[in-house]
Structure 1
Amino acid sequence: MEEAWRVVEPVLQAWRRGRPEAYPQGSQGPGGQERLLLPGHRWLELGGKP
Protein backbone atom coordinates (compact mmCIF):
# COMPACT_ATOMS: atom_id res chain seq x y z
CA MET A 1 0.00 0.00 0.00
CA GLU A 2 2.81 2.42 0.83
CA GLU A 3 4.44 1.79 -2.54
CA ALA A 4 1.14 2.48 -4.33
CA TRP A 5 0.82 5.84 -2.56
CA ARG A 6 4.44 6.66 -3.39
CA VAL A 7 3.55 6.31 -7.07
CA VAL A 8 0.06 7.89 -6.99
CA GLU A 9 0.63 10.86 -4.68
CA PRO A 10 2.75 12.90 -7.18
CA VAL A 11 -0.02 12.48 -9.77
CA LEU A 12 -2.66 13.67 -7.32
CA GLN A 13 -0.51 16.68 -6.40
CA ALA A 14 -0.03 17.58 -10.07
CA TRP A 15 -3.79 17.40 -10.67
CA ARG A 16 -4.35 19.81 -7.78
CA ARG A 17 -2.18 22.33 -9.66
CA GLY A 18 -4.20 21.89 -12.87
CA ARG A 19 -6.04 19.31 -14.90
CA PRO A 20 -4.50 17.54 -17.90
CA GLU A 21 -5.10 19.36 -21.18
CA ALA A 22 -7.98 17.83 -23.15
CA TYR A 23 -7.67 17.12 -26.87
CA PRO A 24 -9.85 15.47 -29.53
CA GLN A 25 -9.68 11.71 -29.91
CA GLY A 26 -7.56 10.75 -32.92
CA SER A 27 -5.68 14.04 -32.92
CA GLN A 28 -1.92 14.48 -32.59
CA GLY A 29 -2.34 15.39 -28.91
CA PRO A 30 -2.69 18.57 -26.85
CA GLY A 31 -1.07 21.82 -27.96
CA GLY A 32 0.84 22.01 -24.68
CA GLN A 33 2.94 19.03 -25.68
CA GLU A 34 5.33 21.40 -27.45
CA ARG A 35 6.50 22.68 -24.04
CA LEU A 36 7.96 19.22 -23.35
CA LEU A 37 10.45 19.41 -26.21
CA LEU A 38 13.98 20.73 -26.12
CA PRO A 39 14.83 23.46 -28.64
CA GLY A 40 15.41 22.01 -32.10
CA HIS A 41 13.31 18.89 -31.46
CA ARG A 42 9.90 18.04 -32.88
CA TRP A 43 7.20 15.41 -32.47
CA LEU A 44 6.70 12.81 -35.19
CA GLU A 45 3.18 12.62 -36.60
CA LEU A 46 1.20 9.50 -35.74
CA GLY A 47 1.68 6.95 -38.49
CA GLY A 48 4.25 9.21 -40.11
CA LYS A 49 7.80 8.47 -41.12
CA PRO A 50 10.84 9.84 -39.21
Structure 2
Amino acid sequence: MRNTRVEIGSDRRDYISRWPYSYKRLLKVQLQAAIEGAYANLANAFGVVLSS
Protein backbone atom coordinates (compact mmCIF):
# COMPACT_ATOMS: atom_id res chain seq x y z
CA MET A 1 0.00 0.00 0.00
CA ARG A 2 2.79 2.37 0.94
CA ASN A 3 4.68 1.38 -2.23
CA THR A 4 1.86 2.41 -4.60
CA ARG A 5 1.57 5.74 -2.81
CA VAL A 6 5.27 6.39 -3.43
CA GLU A 7 4.87 5.47 -7.10
CA ILE A 8 1.95 7.86 -7.49
CA GLY A 9 4.02 10.65 -5.89
CA SER A 10 6.98 10.05 -8.22
CA ASP A 11 4.61 9.88 -11.22
CA ARG A 12 3.18 13.25 -10.31
CA ARG A 13 6.67 14.78 -9.92
CA ASP A 14 7.69 13.31 -13.29
CA TYR A 15 4.57 14.73 -14.93
CA ILE A 16 5.20 18.20 -13.48
CA SER A 17 8.81 18.16 -14.71
CA ARG A 18 7.64 17.19 -18.21
CA TRP A 19 4.70 19.65 -18.17
CA PRO A 20 6.35 22.69 -19.85
CA TYR A 21 7.41 20.59 -22.86
CA SER A 22 3.96 19.08 -23.42
CA TYR A 23 2.34 22.50 -22.87
CA LYS A 24 4.58 24.12 -25.49
CA ARG A 25 3.84 21.26 -27.88
CA LEU A 26 0.10 21.66 -27.33
CA LEU A 27 0.38 25.41 -27.88
CA LYS A 28 2.30 24.83 -31.12
CA VAL A 29 -0.37 22.41 -32.37
CA GLN A 30 -3.14 24.88 -31.51
CA LEU A 31 -1.29 27.71 -33.24
CA GLN A 32 -0.82 25.56 -36.35
CA ALA A 33 -4.53 24.67 -36.35
CA ALA A 34 -5.48 28.35 -35.99
CA ILE A 35 -3.22 29.32 -38.91
CA GLU A 36 -4.64 26.53 -41.08
CA GLY A 37 -8.17 27.64 -40.15
CA ALA A 38 -7.35 31.23 -41.12
CA TYR A 39 -5.95 30.11 -44.47
CA ALA A 40 -9.08 28.01 -45.08
CA ASN A 41 -11.28 31.03 -44.30
CA LEU A 42 -9.24 33.20 -46.67
CA ALA A 43 -9.47 30.58 -49.41
CA ASN A 44 -13.24 30.35 -48.93
CA ALA A 45 -13.58 34.15 -49.06
CA PHE A 46 -11.53 34.35 -52.26
CA GLY A 47 -13.57 31.49 -53.73
CA VAL A 48 -16.81 33.35 -53.02
CA VAL A 49 -15.41 36.57 -54.54
CA LEU A 50 -14.16 34.77 -57.65
CA SER A 51 -17.36 32.78 -58.20
CA SER A 52 -19.69 35.80 -57.88
Per the TM superposition, whether the score is higher than 0.5 is no
Normalized against structure 2, the TM-score is what? 0.31
Say which structure is richer in helix: 2
Normalized against structure 1, the TM-score is what? 0.32
Structure number with greater CO (CA < 8 Å, separation at least 6) is: 1
